[in-house]
């Protein structure tokens, strides 16, 4: 009787019910990290249903697990001959866990339990050295590779550079050649980047992507499946009928033959609950199709890359909006009789690329020409928005009454304070005036007032430059009601006046005095240039179109 009981088969249903009744989670992983079994408690902790977990690779089913301490613990536990326990915080579930794992032949048995009481001195990180000589070198290398991916993908805020980083990271590590397709703001997909392990085949890959036929994706198309489901799609052997619709000419067919595509894996790029693109990895006939572990690694690479690429896309959209706002407010200057006006605006190459620098030039009703240059404190979208407000205030007040620059700035002070615009700005307003007697002699009066702005530079037609330096006065918005001062200078035929912001003076961490001397010397060297060429020369020779700060320039030349 005893023998009969001992040899009786185990009731699988009874065993499953018993495991589901346990308060602790139980999971069993095969040698290839496929999930052989998971009970209800473990599925709840991992945030998936059992149907989403069983018989699937853990790294594909749970991409958020990659890179966590629990991930390292599981790799460590598989290398040991004994049971090991870890206590720590698992970010994807937002809870503290007690995890115990033991290797039984090729399988790893794991129990998971939420911990309501924890001590920080128990939250140990797995020591890689404790794994001993039997540690899985492949798992260690995989973690090192994923760390490299994370570091590389956060190194830029340019979408093109991010995509190039991604394809360079997966070729040739995970495939022979790769492409990245991204859905643009218009909803249309485009090829954002590609790479090939063989430099001689790179031109073929570029030609194929350019010349292939773009047919509407059918429901059974692997790319469409990946984008719709958000799951990776793998094809061990490419059916010629699958790619035939894209091969619209004999030339493209020959290119495809040279590319020698034998198998492929498509991994969606997904971030913030949106699938915005896909990574396509292709192996040639000389390389075996991707293994389960390679696909799992690609899923984790794509997960990390997706967030980085999506950040660059969001940054690009914000930059485009800000720069469009900035440029829409910087209108073309007028060209009054016997005056030539040129303007330039260069966004910064760092930070938010836009800031509070602005210029303006317009004629007042009495015929005088008004020139404005200013710089709102800050380098972001808020600074650009504040710039728009202050510029509009200056323009409206200056046009409404034909007043001197000092009086205009004083009224702007009152408006900035009264409307609580809440920002500081430097500004310089200059008015070009001409009496009938001056008109006969070809002379003009430059009348200006400065609210903490850098002094204008005059390039004299007779030779030499002059810095119109004056006693500094307070920035706009600091002391409403304070009297401001006008200054006068006479301009002769052929004289040129240059107004500018501090990005042209302080470039390269240069001090103000040194920067002003450098700028004045360069204005003198460029005296034989046309006015537009003068402005371009200042940008090219000082900032070389890569300024740390945005730059605005207004230049006016009195024609003979």
Q: What are the domain boundaries of the chain?
A: 2-135, 144-319, 330-558
The confidence band for 352, taking pLDDT boundaries of 50, 70 and 90, is very low
Is the backbone peptide bond immediately before 172 cis, with ω within 30 degrees of 0?
yes
531 by DSSP, 3-state: which? helix
Number of Cβ atoms within 10 Å of the Cβ of 327: 12
More confident residue, 534 or 9: 534
Assigned superfamily of 2-135: PAS domain (3.30.450.20)
The predicted model scores a pTM of 0.54
466 by DSSP, 3-state: which? strand
CA distance 551 to 343: 11
H/E stretch holding 554 reads strand 551-558
| E strands in 440-550 | 444-451, 457-459, 465-467, 487-491, 496-500
The confidence band for 313, taking pLDDT boundaries of 50, 70 and 90, is confident
CA distance 491 to 345: 25
CA distance 77 to 128: 11
Q: What are phi and psi of 173, to 5 degrees?
A: -55, -45
- Across-strand partners of 553? 344, 500
Going by C-alpha positions, the residue among 270, 202, 262 that lies closest to residue 236 is 262
The confidence band for 217, taking pLDDT boundaries of 50, 70 and 90, is low
The whole-number pLDDT of residue 381 equals: 63
pLDDT, tens only, 482-530: 889 999 999 999 999 999 998 888 876 678 889 999 999 999 999 999 9
More confident residue, 71 or 535: 535
Going by C-alpha positions, the residue among 553, 502, 549 that lies closest to residue 531 is 553
243 by DSSP, 3-state: which? helix
Q: In this predicted structure, which of 17-26, 49-58, 545-554 has the lowest mean pLDDT?
A: 545-554
Going by C-alpha positions, the residue among 222, 276, 279, 269 that lies closest to residue 245 is 222
CA distance 403 to 144: 68
457 by DSSP, 3-state: which? strand
Mean pLDDT computed over 234-242: 87
User: Which residue is it, tokens 């809870």?
Assistant: 95
Tell the burial category of 285 from Cβ atoms under 10 Å away from its Cβ (0-12, 13-18, 19+): exposed
Q: Which structure tokens are listed for 445? A: 């009066």
The whole-number pLDDT of residue 39 equals: 93
CA distance 369 to 446: 10
Mean pLDDT computed over 48-73: 84
CA end-to-end distance (rounded Å), the chain: 123
> Under CATH, what is the fold of the domain 144-319?
Beta-Lactamase (3.30.450)
pLDDT, tens only, 326-349: 666 667 788 887 899 999 988 775
pLDDT at 141 over 60: yes
Mean pLDDT computed over 64-74: 78
More confident residue, 369 or 356: 369
The verdict on domain 330-558 having CATH code 2.60.40.420 is: no
pLDDT at 353 over 70: no
CB 68 within 8 A of CB 90: yes
Does the fold of domain 144-319 match that of domain 2-135?
yes
CA distance 560 to 339: 9
The whole-number pLDDT of residue 229 equals: 78
| Cβ-proximal residues to 314 (8 Å cutoff; 6+ apart), any chain | none
């Amino acid at each position: 009787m005893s023998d009969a009981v001992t040899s009786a088969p185990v009731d699988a249903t009874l065993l499953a019910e018993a495991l589901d009744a346990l308060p602790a989670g139980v999971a069993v992983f095969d040698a290839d990290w496929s999930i052989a079994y998971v009970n209800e408690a473990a599925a709840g902790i991992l945030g998936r249903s059992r149907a989403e977990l069983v018989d699937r690779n853990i790294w594909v089913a749970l991409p958020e697990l990659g890179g966590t301490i629990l991930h390292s613990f599981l790799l460590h536990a598989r290398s040991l001959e004994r049971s090991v326990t870890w206590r720590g915080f698992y970010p994807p579930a937002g809870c503290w866990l007690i995890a115990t794992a033991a290797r039984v032949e090729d399988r790893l048995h794991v129990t998971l339990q939420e911990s309501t009481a924890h001590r920080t001195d128990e939250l140990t990180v797995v020591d890689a050295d404790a794994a001993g000589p039997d540690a899985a070198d492949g798992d260690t290398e995989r973690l090192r590779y994923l760390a490299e991916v994370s570091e590389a993908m956060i190194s830029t805020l340019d979408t093109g550079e991010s995509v190039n980083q991604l394809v360079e990271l997966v070729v040739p590590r995970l495939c022979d050649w790769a492409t990245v397709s991204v859905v643009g703001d218009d909803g249309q997909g485009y090829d954002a980047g590609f790479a090939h392990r063989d430099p001689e085949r790179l031109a073929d890959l570029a030609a194929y992507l350019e010349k292939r036929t773009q047919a509407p994706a059918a429901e059974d198309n692997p790319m469409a499946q990946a984008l719709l489901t958000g799951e990776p799609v793998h094809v061990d052997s490419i059916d010629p009928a699958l790619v035939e619709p894209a091969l619209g000419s004999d030339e493209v067919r020959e290119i495809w033959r040279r590319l020698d595509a034998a198998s492929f894996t498509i991994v969606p790029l997904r971030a913030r609950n949106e699938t915005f693109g896909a990574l396509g990895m292709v192996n040639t006939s000389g390389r075996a199709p991707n293994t389960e572990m390679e696909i799992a690694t690609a899923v984790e690479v794509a997960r990390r890359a997706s967030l980085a690429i999506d950040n660059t896309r969001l940054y690009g959209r914000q930059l485009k909006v800000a720069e469009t706002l900035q440029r829409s407010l910087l209108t073309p200057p007028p060209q009054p009789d016997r005056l030539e006006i040129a303007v330039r605006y260069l966004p910064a190459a760092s930070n938010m690329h836009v800031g509070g620098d602005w210029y303006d030039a317009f004629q007042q009703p009495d015929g005088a020409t008004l020139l404005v240059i200013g710089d709102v404190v800050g380098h972001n979208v808020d600074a650009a928005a504040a710039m728009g407000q202050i510029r509009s205030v200056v323009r409206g007040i200056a046009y409404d009454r034909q007043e001197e620059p000092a009086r205009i700035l004083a009224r702007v002070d009152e408006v900035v304070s009264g409307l609580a615009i809440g920002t500081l700005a430097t500004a310089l307003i200059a008015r070009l005036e001409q009496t009938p007697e001056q008109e006969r002699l070809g002379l003009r009066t430059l009348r200006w007032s400065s609210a903490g702005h850098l002094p204008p530079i005059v390039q004299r037609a007779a030779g030499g430059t002059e810095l119109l330096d004056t006693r500094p006065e307070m920035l706009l918005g600091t002391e409403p009601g304070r009297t401001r001062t006008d200054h006068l200078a006479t301009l002769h035929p052929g004289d040129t006046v240059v107004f500018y912001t501090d990005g042209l003076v302080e470039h390269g961490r240069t001090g103000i005095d040194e920067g002003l001397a450098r700028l004045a010397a360069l204005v003198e060297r460029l005296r034989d240039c046309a006015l537009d060429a003068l402005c371009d020369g200042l940008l090219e020779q000082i900032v070389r179109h890569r300024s740390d700060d945005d730059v605005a320039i207004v230049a006016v030349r009195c024609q003979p």
